[in-house]
Chain A
């Protein structure tokens, strides 16, 4: 089945450690996105990529990094510079920002900093 796979589903990290969240899609979509979800705050855009080897900062990129070496993959690294990393992270993809913008989401990764 086509879709977006995020892993791990749950992740615990000690303060000061970097952690990488995986996002893979087999929908042949050009654009991919990372969102952060906190209770009562909706979704906030961290980074997005419209094409391989290119990506742009979203609204809350500080303390995060991404890469887009393959069309199918868009991993997110939460670095030790992110001051409050405990959150639910959602990856999404779409056919492109020039379209009506329907997004397809993965099931999310919940990161907890101990």
Chain B
């Protein structure tokens, strides 16, 4: 079945550092790919998405490119802020339901 694998956390960075959170997937067909973010004590919010190969999703300085050849959708940000501290979930939507990765906790220190 469909599955998503994220890099294990937690990840701790200093403010203004470069961020990469790796995400790879296994799916039949051509899924849509998502990054969701969960701030402390809240539900999840959609951060960005890509619906076909080579699409780049972007929002709030975050980017991810749908790479079909490597089945990846890595999340990047050039300069993180303390307010980016959260749990990040990679997800895919195949023929039926949405499948989530296990989440990566990110902490940014000032």
Contact = CB atoms under 8 A, between A and B. Distances in A.
B44 A103 contact: yes
Contacts of A101: 32, 34, 93, 98
B89 interface: yes
A102 B46 contact: yes
24 contacts: A4-B43, A6-B43, A40-B103, A41-B102, A42-B100, A42-B101, A42-B102, A42-B103, A43-B44, A43-B100, A90-B44, A92-B44, A97-B97, A100-B49, A100-B51, A101-B32, A101-B98, A102-B34, A103-B36, A103-B44, A103-B46, A105-B43, A105-B44, A107-B42
Interface of B: 32, 34, 36, 41-46, 49, 51, 89, 93, 96-98, 100-103
Interface of A: 4, 6, 40-43, 45, 48, 58, 90, 92, 97, 100-108
Contacts of B41: 107-108
B29 to A, nearest CB: 13
Contacts, number: 48
Given A42-B101, A107-B43, 6 more contacts: A40-B102, A43-B100, A101-B32, A102-B34, A106-B43, A108-B42
Q: Is the interface of B mostly helix, strand, loop or mixed?
A: strand
A25 B55 CA distance: 31
A58 B96 CA distance: 11
Contact of A102 (B49, B101, B103): B49
Nearest to A109: B43
Given A90-B43, A105-B44, A100 B100 contact: no
A101 to B, nearest CB: 3
Given A103-B46, A105-B44, A106-B43, A58 B97 contact: yes
A104 to B, nearest CB: 8
A40 B103 CA distance: 7
A108 B89 CA distance: 16
Given A42-B89, A100-B51, A48 B97 contact: yes
Contact of A100 (B32, B44, B96, B101): B32
